[in-house]
């Protein structure tokens, strides 16, 4: 599985947690709870295997942090506060449609860089391009060094996990 869907799922883990708390019908809060667990597992999938692999040297020719755009992204987090505790079937279909639209935008744009769960864990997601032509994203605890040289493990084709010590 490419890294972008995992980044999407993990980015909405706090939202699914809030919805788990908010919804009253058992099937609905259990569904949101399962999505929360899957979101946490997606972070583990991104970070854990990379920790066991040997990092390679990557020379970044471009990096950009999107944390400044987080405010517009957080508008989607209003959903738990606009929902009703006991939604009708039509409400649930509308919420699912909203999440489908959000997922489509998230997976096809740079908003994939904004990830509240990774921020809470002390990470950033940078848009990067390396000297070998890899356009993608790098999960890191710090900004790239001025010379652009980082030790990173590649997760699939589009995500690097920084292993450089600060």
Of residues 84, 93, 95, the one with CA closest to residue 25 = 84
pTM: 0.77
> Pick from 31, 17, 116: which is nearest to 71 by CA?
116
Q: Compute mean pLDDT per 10 residues along the chain, 166 residues long, and list them.
A: 80 90 93 95 82 79 70 72 85 89 80 83 86 83 84 79 76
């Amino acid at each position: 599985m490419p890294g972008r869907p995992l980044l999407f799922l993990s980015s909405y883990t706090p939202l699914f947690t809030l919805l788990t708390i908010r919804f009253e019908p058992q099937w609905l809060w259990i569904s949101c709870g399962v999505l929360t667990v899957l979101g946490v597992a997606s972070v583990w999938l991104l970070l854990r295997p990379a920790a066991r692999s040997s990092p390679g040297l990557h020379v970044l020719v471009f990096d950009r942090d999107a944390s400044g755009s987080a405010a517009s992204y957080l508008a989607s987090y209003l959903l738990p506060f606009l929902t009703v505790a006991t939604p009708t079937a039509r409400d649930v279909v509308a919420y699912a449609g909203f999440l489908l639209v959000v997922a489509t935008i998230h997976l096809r744009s740079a908003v994939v860089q904004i990830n509240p769960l990774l921020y809470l864990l002390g990470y950033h997601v940078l848009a990067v391009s390396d000297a070998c032509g890899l356009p993608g994203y790098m999960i890191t605890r710090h900004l790239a060094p001025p010379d652009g040289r980082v030790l990173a493990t590649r997760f699939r084709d589009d995500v690097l996990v920084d292993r450089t010590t600060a």
